[in-house]
Amino acid sequence: MHWIRLTLVGLAIWCFDSQAAQLPATDEAKREARQALLDELRPVSLANCSFKRFGSKNDGGYVMCENLVQVKTGYSYGIGGNDDWGCEVSQTYGVPIHQYDCFTLPALTCAGGRFVPHNECVGPKTETVEGRFFDTISNQIDRNGDRGKRLLVKIDVEGAEDVVLAPFFRDAPKSMWPRLILLEDARSAWTVDLFSLLASLGYSVVSRTRLNVMMRRIS
């Protein structure tokens, strides 16, 4: 795992140098830039993480810490006709995967796994838009009887992750908060800094790729 730590350190130095070059050359500006970078990274030990890619090789596949997936149920938001990730997670850990998509009806099969398809999308409130039903994560968890269970949530909803997750964490009791969250890194499209929000709620990054981030609740 030494190469991972070295890579993260190198990335941190490069990011800091890039930011500092754009700021006034004052000690205070440099200190603020350094602190902002440290707050964003939230360094964690990866020594206990066994990386594995779940799902297909390209879109539809996600890198996770396979030894940290100690959950009872999974939620897969944004299927798009492919849930190889959900199938492999279900097969590996013997948990049901609730699939949500109101644009492409989940009608997939998974030999040796269990899919629970829902013809609806996830959103910040309960509503019907152009004939498509949207509901909150809280309502969906309650309808499935999963309140209080250890949950894994994968959400890849084309840059609207902040629109869904920020209201959820604002309103939902802690008994609903997922143990693990796997989300697309679409910060350029977000109006809410989800990574800082999740960090403030006790989540830490346990795996990261160019496109996706896995966070684990540790408090």
By the 8 A CB rule, do 30 and 21 touch? no
On whether both 20 and 80 belong to a single domain, the answer is no
Among all chains, which residue has been given the structure tokens 């004052």? 26
Whole-number pLDDT of residue 33? 60
pTM of the full structure: 0.78
Within this chain, do residues 166 and 60 fall inside the same structural domain, yes or no?
Answer: yes
37 and 74 housed in the same domain: no
Q: Clarify whether residues 114 and 205 are in a common domain.
A: yes
pLDDT score, position 107 = 80
Shared-domain flag, residues 182 and 204: yes
Mean pLDDT by 10 residues, the chain (219 residues): 37 42 60 57 60 83 89 93 93 97 86 95 97 97 97 95 98 96 94 96 92 89
In the prediction, which pLDDT does 211 show?
87
Structure confidence at residue 20 (pLDDT): 42
Q: Which backbone phi and psi does 79 adopt, to 5 degrees?
A: -95, -55
Long-range contacts: 196-204, Cβ < 8 Å, 24+? 196/39, 196/40, 197/165, 197/166, 197/169, 198/165, 198/169, 199/39, 199/42, 201/169, 201/177, 204/42, 204/44
- 151 and 110, same structural domain? yes
Number of structural domains the chain divides into:
2
Residues 207 and 103 in one domain: yes
Same domain, 121 and 84: yes
Beta strands at 121-122 and 151-155: parallel, antiparallel or unpaired: unpaired
Domain holding 64, by residue range, is 48-217
Residues 37 and 93 in one domain: no
Residues 212 and 184 grouped into a single domain: yes
Q: Which CATH number characterizes residue 108's domain? A: 3.40.50
The reply to whether 171 and 100 lie within a common domain is yes
172 shares its domain with 132: yes
